[in-house]
Amino acid sequence: MILDIINKKRLGEELTYKELDTFFNGYLEGTIPDYQMSSLLMAICINGMSDEEIFALTKIFIDSGDVLEFAGIDGIKVDKHSTGGIGDKTTLVIAPIVASLGIPVVKMSGRGLGYTGGTIDKLESIPGYRIDLSDDEIMNQIKDINVVITGQTACLVPMDKVIYALRDVTATVSSIPLIASSIMSKKIAGGADKIIIDIKVGNGALLQTREEADKLSELMIKIGKVYDREVRTIISDMDAPLGYSIGNSLEVLEAIDVLEGKERDNPFVDLCIELASHMVSMGKNISLEEAKKLVIGSIEDGSAYQKFLELVKHQNGNIQKIKVSENTVTVKAKSSGILKKINALELGKLSLALGAGKEKITDKIDYTVGIKLSKLIGDSVKKGDVLATIYYNKKKPDVSYDKIFVIQ
Ligand code: URA
């Protein structure tokens, strides 16, 4: 039976709900070994899945754990997810903006595996910040201040935790049906009424082409319809890193700069405003233009930053104690011209080598290391200008300048 299921998918045939349920739940319960699950995942990766199979798999994922209701929370609950990228600290900026405008934000974020930390790792770089709130604490905090960013509870889609860990080590992460089921199951089980997904495309992202991103977008919207949730998607560039900073403490400090209105008019700030505007538009049932005015206003009048401070205080963090390494090296421009490229993937690899991300689940993150860019794409530079500062601890980093920067 198990071999028949693998064989069927190997031949590109459609699996039934029962076959998928038997296989995936067998894996979760430990009766199906890693090698058979890996084989099925690879067959899915190569041959894809029909919409019916994807809906079935999403349901199997959701049913593997609890579905959070947050019934006591007034208002439309809006959630956001990013497929992940280098320097992506948008949640830290968006959640306080949206909450400051009266929309409840319960954000359950994950850790990073791969090049950089996830949102939860970034928040843990704020000394004292608690990422393990209980359901009761979440409810109380939402009632008090309208915003929570905490870790995913163990009972939220446990199937995704085990399957994602296996996908990560079997080169099956980039399968579009598997990404769609993984993300949508967590959003639906997490109790969101409306969802915005930021699909990243580029060399520092899971997806490399616009066609793949369009396919994923279409699928997520269809899954949302099955569960009666409004899903919007945006497709954004990940050939260059997002913003100036990569690395946990550095990214929190950059998010603070944006919330304080110190950093403006760059693609990272534009993306935060766009995503937050979608959330506010969905949460208040208003047009995107109206929402955008409110979002910009919440940064300009300081209310978004105040909300961030309330959030950190409620979760015990102290931003005065955020540390970055004192060991730095600068990277200087080798020629004059316009900065044409900053390679996200290479900077991701560098940040991993510095210790800002994890290669294995058991690795320990160094929150204080990372990369701070001084120039962004399109800036004009003179030979000798500082392009980036590298914060390191373990050993002085090797920077592959020619792979990272292109000046023309
Ligand atoms: N993010 C997720 O949560 N799941 C995936 O499969 C890919 C990105």
**pLDDT score for 71:** 65
Residue 178 CA, closest ligand 1 atom number: 6
Active site annotation includes 182: yes
Percent helix, strand, coil in the chain, to 5, is: 45, 15, 40
Residues contacting ligand 1 via CB (< 6 Å): 83-84, 178-179, 182-183, 206
What is residue 74's predicted lDDT score, i.e. its pLDDT? 79
- The reported pLDDT for the residue numbered 61 is 98
CA 302 to chain centre: 25
pTM value surpassing 0.95: no
- Amino acid 135: pLDDT: 85
CATH of 2-48, one of 3.30.360.10, 1.10.600.10, 1.20.970.10, 3.40.50.720: 1.20.970.10
Which fold would CATH assign to domain 78-320?
Pyrimidine Nucleoside Phosphorylase; Chain A, domain 2 (3.40.1030)
Which residue ranges make up each domain of the chain? 2-48, 78-320, 324-407
Output the pLDDT for position 165.
Answer: 86
Which pLDDT belongs to residue 72? 72
395 is catalytic: no
Q: What's the pLDDT score for residue 113?
A: 60
Cβ neighbors of 12 (< 8 A, separation 6 or more) are 47
Rounded CA-CA distance 373/370 in Å is: 10
Quote the ligand 1 centre to 262 CA distance (angstroms).
32
Task: Give the chain's residues under pLDDT 50.
Answer: none
pLDDT for residue 45 = 97
Q: Dump pLDDT digits (tens) for 278-300.
A: 999 999 999 999 999 999 999 99
Contact 78, 91 (CB under 8 A): no
Whether 160 is catalytic: yes
Topology (CATH) of 324-407: Aldehyde Oxidoreductase; domain 3 (3.90.1170)
Nearest-CA residue for ligand 1 atom 3 is: 183
Question: Which helix H or strand E contains 226, and what residues bound it?
Answer: helix 210-226
**Buried (b) or exposed (e) across 230-254, using 16+ Cβ within 10 A?**
ebbbbbbbbbbbbbbbbbbbbbbbb
Phi, psi dihedrals of residue 127, rounded to the nearest 5°: -50, 130
